[in-house]
Amino acid sequence: MIAALYVETGGCYFGLPGVDPWDEARDARRYAGPHPVVAHPPCERWGDMWMGSPLVIARTGERKELGDDGGCFEAALSAVRAWGGVLEHPEGSRAWASFGLFTPPRSGGWVMADWQGGWTCRVEQVAYGHPVRKPTWLYAHGVDLPSLKWGVDPRNLPSMVQPSKARLAAGRTPSISLHGVRPNKRRATPTAFRDLLISIAETANAQAEAA
């Protein structure tokens, strides 16, 4: 059994044999084992727009706090370290520096992430079927480390799909994004990438049995 933490209700982790999905209603911060995990903690407060939309800030004067995700990333990282598995976040996530994790190289390859046995790497989800580049950092602990599809895609692809200024000003995501990619597709984890993350987490069981 694998626990999929911080996943979309009814999304790609639901209905899979051997996968226990934890969506917002279940509150993955409460996960206490014992299964290895695949974790997708929310990233809004860790990226370049952590403070919120500039247009909304200009209109309201309200700014978000860096890293104010309700403790989701910290809980996800603790779960991966405690039970084995893998966590994903966008490239450039400020959570890496905030939690003392080393930055992986853009060229790819697993490198040491911390002094607690963790490993990190950079991949692009376009290599696994995403419609845009979507560069991603992974943190893994207590698992086998497979060779992935490393490097930067040579095509002239956007890194991600941005919402329109009008919808950002209204505090909303776009109904139809640039490049014809709808927001649910932008946020979604490709099936091949999901299966890869699950396969990595599954090796935590093998390592535990061998220990």
pLDDT of residue 105: 96
H/E stretch holding 137 reads strand 135-141
Average pLDDT of the segment spanning 147-157: 77
Q: With CA atoms as reference, report the closest residue to 11 among 187, 197, 198, 192.
A: 187
User: What whole-number distance in Å separates Cα of residue 64 and Cα of residue 141?
Assistant: 31
pTM for this structure? 0.82
- Report the distance separating Cα 204 and Cα 38, nearest Å: 11
User: Per-residue confidence at 187, pLDDT binned at 50, 70, 90?
Assistant: low
**Measuring CA to CA, which residue among 51, 132, 63 is closest to residue 94?**
51
What is the structure's pLDDT at 59? 72
Neighbours of 172 (CB within 10 A): 13
Print burial letters for 41-73: b (CB count within 10 Å at least 16), e (below 16).
bebebbeeebebbeebeeeeeeebeeeebeebb
Average pLDDT over residues 161-180: 41
Per residue in 91-136, pLDDT (tens digit) is 999 999 999 999 999 999 999 999 999 999 999 998 888 888 789 9
* pLDDT confidence tier of residue 206, bands split at 50, 70 and 90: low
Higher pLDDT, 131 or 66: 131
Distance CA 166, CA 163 (A): 8
Q: In the predicted model, what is the mean pLDDT of the chain?
A: 82
β-strand pairing of 19-22 with 85-90? unpaired
Q: What is the pLDDT of residue 180?
A: 39
From 51, 90, 48, 182, select the one nearest 174 (Cα to Cα). 182
- Percentage of residues of the chain with pLDDT beyond 70: 73
As beta bridge partners, residue 3 has 20, 37
